[in-house]
Amino acid sequence: MPKEITPLSELQVKAIKPKVKADGTLDVDKTAVGGCAGLYLYTQPAGTKTWVLRAILNSKRVEFGLGSYATRASTQRKKASGKTETALTLKAARVKGTAWREQIADGIDPRAEKKRRRSELAAAKAGEMTFAQLAESYVDKKAAEWKTIKQVRTLKQFLDDHINPHVGDILVKDLEPEHFISMLKPIYTKIPPTAKKIIRHCEQIINLGIVLGLRPVGNNPARWQSGLDVAFPAYKKVHKEQHHPSIDWRLMPEFMQKLFALDTPSWTKPEVSILALQILTVSRPSEARLARWEDFSIEDKCWHIPDGSERDLHKASKSYRVPLTPLAIKILKAADPKASGRIWSIDKGTEVPDPYLSCIPKMLGYDADAHGMRGSFRTWIQESEAGRWSDDAVRITMKHSLKDKVTAAYAKGDCYEERIKLLKAWEDWITKAKGHTADVIPMRRRASK
């Protein structure tokens, strides 16, 4: 563990002088200033001071030059090359050092990253940026906007598989509509939804290039509306909108009986427990698959689902409180509650893959997937419980946001007490309806012999 350095003040740093050797000559003084691990001030015999960050990169100790020392912000220093640089105060050096250490922790060399950004800027100014280079900046922008890592991975996959092989090496200024038409032709009728997403991204990437001055304003060769669309059949003609297949709500009691019968001996198949919890809480598959103990309070019978920006869980932009029904609590208790960590895993502690859940309904003879269970719940509300529950309680149970932003700004409640009763009624239906009782569900552990 590195030695903890007491942070020096601005006056202490200013007073640092070159080291005096035994023979009276001056030598470089290297002083750790604290406030940022590995941050040093090197004072040369001539009196000049520079900031240096010591860190381990790729198993090697490296000294990174952060810049010269300044007693006040915005101090300009002319380098030997004739260029000027902004010297750093103690506070600014600590901020920069901390930021660089974060990059180093992610395996990024800050010097190489700085050079890359300079190269991109220079290329942009010169108008010599390729589509692939511009797309990298677009990916960084979207990564800051989106809520999950999965969305970023999907975009990168689109670029690698469908976009860059066709237009990646072409300069942004030289792109024409025919380039994007050739890109779309192989996929437009085969995978229409993917093709639609791809051309939208391409259009936005070119828009970014226009903002950077790589193309004239209004000249977007990837524009779909009143542009590329005239070269292809209407989208609705080649793609029929499909929703997640769901089980008829009347068959849910039967399905739940078969689901728990599948888990023999009891609690040996994590995918069964996950799917059951998902159904009982009307959550999304990823929320249940990646659920963590620290988000549950069994004593308070509540599950706190963090917003999508906190973890790679879901697309919701806010956190939710989810009431836990008696059966949901039994499932959690059977999973051996802990203080923290993912609840369910498979071999070597890896997360349970999504297909493990979605294949269960099909294996039991139902044309449905895991996400479709939410549709079963919603249809049960419409056809069996109409008028019994408020629209807000149902919407929040589904974790859907209000489309009207003005209404959403004032609607601060979460109908928690009503949702406790709503989920209990849902549990009662799927476990205690006619022809199906909770007694046939193997909810108890086997007694030891």
Evaluate if residue 437 carries a pLDDT over 80. no
Q: Is 209 in the same domain as 256?
A: no
Task: Confirm whether 201 is domain-assigned.
Answer: yes
Most confident of 128-142, 239-253, 337-351: 128-142
pLDDT of residue 113: 79
Task: Confirm whether 1 is domain-assigned.
Answer: no
Backbone angles phi, psi at 213, to 5 degrees: 85, 15
Number of Cβ within 10 Å of residue 404's Cβ equals 10
Task: Confirm whether 68 is domain-assigned.
Answer: yes
CB of 388 closer than 8 Å to CB of 401: no
106-129 confidence digits (pLDDT tens): 888 888 877 777 777 666 665 678
pLDDT band at 236, cuts 50/70/90? confident
31-61 confidence digits (pLDDT tens): 999 999 999 999 999 889 999 999 998 888 9
CB of 131 closer than 8 Å to CB of 168: yes
* Mean pLDDT score of the chain: 85
- Gyration radius of the chain over CA positions: 30
Task: Confirm whether 359 is domain-assigned.
Answer: yes
Task: Confirm whether 244 is domain-assigned.
Answer: no
Task: Confirm whether 113 is domain-assigned.
Answer: no
pLDDT band at 412, cuts 50/70/90? confident
pLDDT of residue 270: 92
pLDDT band at 336, cuts 50/70/90? confident
Q: Is 60 in the same domain as 20?
A: yes
Q: Last residue of a domain, which of 108, 129, 164?
A: 108
175-216 confidence digits (pLDDT tens): 999 999 999 999 999 999 999 999 999 999 999 999 998 999
Q: Is 122 in the same domain as 226?
A: yes
Q: Last residue of a domain, which of 181, 215, 238?
A: 238
Rounded Cα distance between 267 and 273, Å, is: 7
For residue 98, count CB atoms less than 10 angstroms from its CB and return exposed for 0-12, middle for 13-18, buried for 19 or more: middle
Specify the number of domains making up the chain: 3
Q: Is 87 in the same domain as 181?
A: no
Q: Which CATH number do you get for residue 92?
A: 3.30.160.390
Rounded Cα distance between 81 and 153, Å, is: 42
Task: Confirm whether 25 is domain-assigned.
Answer: yes
Q: Is 212 in the same domain as 253?
A: no
Residue carrying the six token digits 């979460």: 414
Q: Is 95 in the same domain as 127?
A: no
Q: Last residue of a domain, which of 205, 238, 271?
A: 238
Task: Confirm whether 340 is domain-assigned.
Answer: yes
- The pTM of the full predicted model, rounded to 2 decimals, is 0.54
| Torsion from C-alpha of 307, 342, 396, 382, nearest 10 degrees | 140
Q: Is 226 in the same domain as 284?
A: no
pLDDT of residue 381: 95
69-84 confidence digits (pLDDT tens): 987 755 545 444 445 5
Pairing of strands 320-323, 302-305: antiparallel
Q: Is 104 in the same domain as 133?
A: no
Question: Taking Cα atoms as reference points, which of 169, 170, 168, 167 lies closest to residue 183?
Answer: 167
Q: Is 207 in the same domain as 313?
A: no
Q: Which CATH number do you get for residue 257?
A: 1.10.443
Q: Is 286 in the same domain as 382?
A: yes
Rounded Cα distance between 369 and 371, Å, is: 6
CB of 270 closer than 8 Å to CB of 352: yes
Backbone angles phi, psi at 249, to 5 degrees: -55, -25
Q: Is 382 in the same domain as 282?
A: yes
Paired strand residues for 68: 50
Q: Is 179 in the same domain as 229?
A: yes
- The token pair at 321 is 């409180």
Domain holding 66, by residue range, is 10-108
SS3 of residue 1 by DSSP = coil
